[in-house]
Amino acid sequence: MPSDTNDHAPTGADGHGGAGGMLLVISGPSGVGKTTIRDVILDSVPGSFFSVSATTRPRTDADRDGVDYHFMTDAEFDACIARGDFLEHATFAGNRYGTPRKPVDEALAHGRLALLDVDVVGARNIKRMRPDAYFVFFMPPNKAELLRRLRERKREPEEAIQKRFAVASKEVDEGQSSGIYDEIVINDDLTTAIFKTLTIVERERARRASSG
């Protein structure tokens, strides 16, 4: 893992953020509604910041560099690791993914909510680097419902859906048993899940502001 240093380190009392600054790490399997909830958080919390990951995976025609991902070569990714530019990085399905450190630190230094969307492995790495972050895992009411939602999207043939479901099912198990997450939100009803998540964020930011 890269060292926990940065030339633009935040100046908050805890070394990780200014007043009101909070690092929110969310995880959840494909099909759980996580992206929708994430976007509502970003729209609802003034000044909130979403960290765009870096990746070595090939860019598709639909990808927007700097919006969906920061696309890099392996050599560029290696250079970032050597400089300690990543808060965390991991390899998934033969491609490498990393969370740029500098924009997250700068957001926290200005008292903003910085939001990361990572898998359980990424969350575990961040937990070691930033134990002051707040971790939320989203899961479906049950695995049968998760499979139904994946099929309902009608984006892939059944074989691909089954593969995605196997990965998602494993992530649900890992998320529940990992001990990483401060909250587990069950998305049985999207409106309720959104309300619960926003309540969690507001409560935790207020607690940190009062204790800081």
- Distance between terminal CA atoms of the chain? 29
Q: What share of the chain is helix, strand, coil (3-state, %, to 5)?
A: 45, 20, 35
Contact 17, 111 (CB under 8 A): yes
Q: pLDDT by residue for the chain (212 residues), tens digit each?
A: 333 333 333 333 333 455 668 999 999 998 899 999 999 999 999 999 999 999 999 998 888 988 889 999 999 999 999 999 999 998 877 899 999 999 999 999 999 999 999 989 889 999 998 999 999 999 999 999 999 999 988 778 999 999 989 989 999 999 999 999 999 999 999 999 999 999 999 999 999 888 76
State the Cα–Cα distance between residues 117 and 133, nearest whole angstrom.
Answer: 13
Q: Report how far apart, in Å, the C-alpha atoms of 140 and of each of 170, 186, 188 are.
A: 13, 6, 6
What is the strand order of the sheet 54-55 is part of? Answer: 70-71, 54-55, 95-100, 86-92
| 54-55 and 95-100 strand pairing | antiparallel
The domain limits of the chain are: 22-51+113-211
CATH of domain 22-51+113-211: 3.40.50.300
The residues pairing with 98 across neighbouring beta strands, listed in sequence order, are 54, 89
Signed CA dihedral, 81, 4, 114, 193: sign only: positive
State the Cα–Cα distance between residues 129 and 15, nearest whole angstrom.
Answer: 12
